[in-house]
Amino acid sequence: MAVYERTYSRYQGPLTSTSTRFLILPKYAFREVFASKWMLAFLVLCFVFPLWCCAVIYLSNNADFLALFPNLDITQFLKIDADFFFTFLQVQAWYAFFLSLFIGPGLVSRDLSNNGLPLYLSRPFSRVEYVVGKTTVLAIVLSAITWVVGLLLVTMQASFVGWGWLADNLRLVFGMFVGSWIWILTLSLMSLAISAWVRWRPVAAFAMFLVLLGGLFFGSTINLLFRTEVGDLLNLIKVIFVLWASLLGVDSGLETSVFSASVVLLLYWGGFLYMLNRKIRAYEVVS
Amino acid sequence: MSATHMTEASPAGGVDWGLVGRQIVGILRMELRNQLFSRRAFALYFLAFAPVGIMALWAASPVPDKLALSGPIDASRVYAFVFQGYLSTSIFLSCLILFMSLFRGEILEKSLHYYFLSPIRREVLVAGKYVAALIAVTGVFAVGTTTLYLLTMSPWGLGELGRYLFSGPGLGHLITYVSIAVLACIGYGAIFQLAGQLFKNPVSVAVLLWAWEFINPFLPSLLKKLSVIFYLNSLLPVPVAAGAFAIQADPIPAWVSVPGVLLLTAAVLALAGWRARNMEISYGSDD
């Protein structure tokens, strides 16, 4: 065909439904994420503790194993209750943080540093869909190592003890699901917001590290100097632990109230959303 | 003979140290401006002076009475605790951000080839960049450590502070703390500079090193010696309790720990120089 005959014509192919358009982003992002063997290895490592929990649940319900210790009440050590699942979530929270440290910063920073945002936003694709799409990448991976395996463990325990146990512990199911999502959303928003502002991937990861470590250090210094527990509110991990303890109905061992922890978390979310709103735009003014 | 060798070799055939010195001064001039007055420097100032701000609030408030501290001697125990956090959080993270971005930052900004095209030996470039970052970070943290120390001891009045400093152990302790801060910058700086040269994504290295330093109190005596923090903690004038599960190990005397850190630094810098000599830039894969 001669060049002069190449005129504009509208795309005639099938269109992706508007409701599922954001899923295009995870589809391509996963290819990059799982291209790294180190990432895959770390993801496998994230399932080591759930596997250990699985063994504990199995052994605590195994009559032959319990019979090996006739003079010892082994169930005291292998007690499967809300505290057990609280510990499970606490451990997986750290894995989730490190996973988001590796995956999160590259999600937005590449688009921004290569001026790729106009390419997304010049299409029928909104800023909200962009953020939701990028969040979905992290949400899917982090869900797999938090609430999905958590609920599998709950199901395993219920299948051993009886479904009545599940009915008695519905709060556990709810707490694990909602608690995990709180952490997933926090990590996703934090990594997207930081990587939108700090465009270098490694520096963005350091900044995430700084938010967590800095909160830990500054919080404990304030607590020590002022004989208070207010410093715990700077520590994102402790804030989350307070909320989880409340959701699961266990004692977190912290004096921070659920209300103040919720307010602080909402402030964090608000800050991250504000940061995203400032940077995720189809144009950029370079001064 | 290449241009590099022509400019650096003296007529007698040896290295023209005068020229090397002038080249390092030239690099220092450019790098110091980058390290101290760029946006990246904000993290350095925040990490160095935010704890100072908290301590200033503490010193100004009537809280010291509530802590039942009798004077500067008691306060030195509080300072020892705060300094340990300062060392493992503020100094560690600042060195991480500054030294890792010495080469990695230039690669991400696609500007390292300007240095490589100029007639400077790569080893001189490594030394110049290292010294510039070291001057910036040690300067800031020497001021930070001193201010933090004086503020901790100040609530009992200037007279008591003067007596503690000049008639008691105060001045000796202060000099030791500043020396530890400087030594930490020297050791961590060299390691992070090399990591920035060796790895495309130095975050994994940083996280591993942080985890290793974090679990140091719980490691057996032999493994403790494979970290920087153990040698630094050995120099602390007021020891800090490591916690219930910590494994005690004899502190290393200063005449071993100081040269130990310096020798490690020299070895790591030599490796960094060798790496720089063989370094090839591929900007395309580093975003």
pLDDT (tens, 9 = 90+) of chain A, 287 residues, equals: 677 777 777 778 888 888 888 888 888 888 888 888 888 899 999 999 999 999 999 888 887 777 777 777 766 777 888 999 999 999 999 999 999 988 888 888 888 878 888 888 888 888 999 999 999 999 999 999 999 999 999 999 999 888 888 888 899 999 999 999 999 999 999 999 998 888 777 778 888 888 888 888 889 888 888 888 888 899 899 999 999 999 999 988 888 899 999 999 999 999 999 999 988 887 766 65
Asked if A203 reaches chain B (Cβ–Cβ under 8 Å), the answer is yes
Residue B100 has pLDDT above 90, yes or no: no
Per the domain annotation, does B10 fall within a domain? no
From CA B223, how far away is CA A198, in angstroms rounded?
Answer: 36
Residue B2 has pLDDT above 50, yes or no: no
Query: What's this model's pTM, rounded to 2 decimal places?
Result: 0.78
From CA A191, how far away is CA A208, in angstroms rounded?
Answer: 7
ipTM of this predicted structure: 0.73
| Cβ neighbours of A227 in B, within 8 Å | 63, 66-67
* Structural domains of chain B, count: 1
- The pLDDT score that the predictor gives to residue B11 is 54
**Could you tell me the two tokens for A139?**
């949400």
Please give the average per-residue pLDDT across B132-145, as a whole number: 95
Per the domain annotation, does B60 fall within a domain? yes
Per the domain annotation, does B13 fall within a domain? no
Q: How confident is the model at residue B181 (pLDDT cuts 50, 70, 90)?
A: very high
Asked if B54 reaches chain A (Cβ–Cβ under 8 Å), the answer is yes
Per the domain annotation, does B3 fall within a domain? no
Torsion of Cα atoms, B172 then B177 then B183 then B189, to 10°: -160
Burial class of residue A279, CB neighbours in 10 A (0-12, 13-18, 19+): middle
**Contact state of A221 with B85 under an 8 Å Cβ cutoff:** yes
Residue B179 has pLDDT above 60, yes or no: yes
Listed residue (B216, B31, B214) closest to A209, CA to CA: B214
- The pLDDT score that the predictor gives to residue B125 is 92
Which of A217, A223, A226 to mutate against chain B (most B CBs within 10 Å)? A217
Asked if B89 reaches chain A (Cβ–Cβ under 8 Å), the answer is yes
**Contact state of B43 with A222 under an 8 Å Cβ cutoff:** no
Mean residue pLDDT across chain B: 85
**Contact state of B93 with A224 under an 8 Å Cβ cutoff:** no
Asked if B85 reaches chain A (Cβ–Cβ under 8 Å), the answer is yes
**Å from B82 to nearest chain A CA?**
6
Q: Which residues pair with B15 in a beta bridge?
A: B9
**Å from B270 to nearest chain A CA?**
24
**Å from A254 to nearest chain B CA?**
18
A112 to chain B: nearest residue by CA? B287
Asked if B37 reaches chain A (Cβ–Cβ under 8 Å), the answer is no
Burial class of residue B244, CB neighbours in 10 A (0-12, 13-18, 19+): exposed
**Å from B145 to nearest chain A CA?**
15
**Contact state of A102 with B203 under an 8 Å Cβ cutoff:** yes
Instruction: Please state the φ and ψ torsions of residue A179, each to the nearest 5 degrees.
Output: -60, -45
Q: Which residues pair with B9 in a beta bridge?
A: B15
Task: Considering only residues B31 and B144, tell me which one the structure prediction assigns the higher pLDDT.
Answer: B144
- The pLDDT score that the predictor gives to residue B1 is 39
Asked if A49 reaches chain B (Cβ–Cβ under 8 Å), the answer is no
**Contact state of A200 with B78 under an 8 Å Cβ cutoff:** no
**Contact state of A217 with B55 under an 8 Å Cβ cutoff:** no
Residue type, A181: W
pLDDT digits (tens, 9 = 90+) for B215-242: 888 888 788 888 888 888 889 888 877 6
**Å from B129 to nearest chain A CA?**
18
A39 to chain B: nearest residue by CA? B204
Q: How confident is the model at residue B5 (pLDDT cuts 50, 70, 90)?
A: very low
Instruction: Please state the φ and ψ torsions of residue B261, each to the nearest 5 degrees.
Output: -65, -40
**What is the C-alpha end-to-end distance of chain B, expressed in Å?**
35
* C-beta of residue A153 within 8 angstroms of C-beta of residue A84: no
Asked if A216 reaches chain B (Cβ–Cβ under 8 Å), the answer is yes
Cα B120 to Cα A106, B127, B189, distances in angstroms: 34, 11, 22
Per the domain annotation, does B286 fall within a domain? no
**Contact state of A227 with B63 under an 8 Å Cβ cutoff:** yes
| Cβ neighbours of B81 in A, within 8 Å | 224
* C-beta of residue A203 within 8 angstroms of C-beta of residue A226: no
* C-beta of residue B235 within 8 angstroms of C-beta of residue B207: no
Give the one of B47, B93, B202 whose C-beta lies nearest to A202's C-beta: B202
pLDDT digits (tens, 9 = 90+) for B242-272: 666 667 777 788 888 899 889 999 999 999 9
**Contact state of A102 with B105 under an 8 Å Cβ cutoff:** no
* C-beta of residue B44 within 8 angstroms of C-beta of residue B94: yes
- The pLDDT score that the predictor gives to residue B268 is 92
> DSSP for chain B?
--HHHHHHB-TTSSB-HHHHHHHHHHHHHHHHHHHHHSTTHHHHHHHHHHHHHHHHHHHHSSHHHHTT--SHHHHHHHHHHHHHHIIIIIIHHHHHHHHHTTTHHHHHTT-HHHHHHSS--HHHHHHHHHHHHHHHHHHHHHHHHHHHHHHHHGGG-HHHHHHHHHTSSHHHHHHHHHHHHHHHHHHHHHHHHHHHHH-SSTHHHHHHHHHHHHTGGGS-HHHHTTSHHHHHHHT-SS-----TTPPP-PPPPHHHHHHHHHHHHHHHHHHHHHHHHT----GGG--
Asked if B66 reaches chain A (Cβ–Cβ under 8 Å), the answer is yes
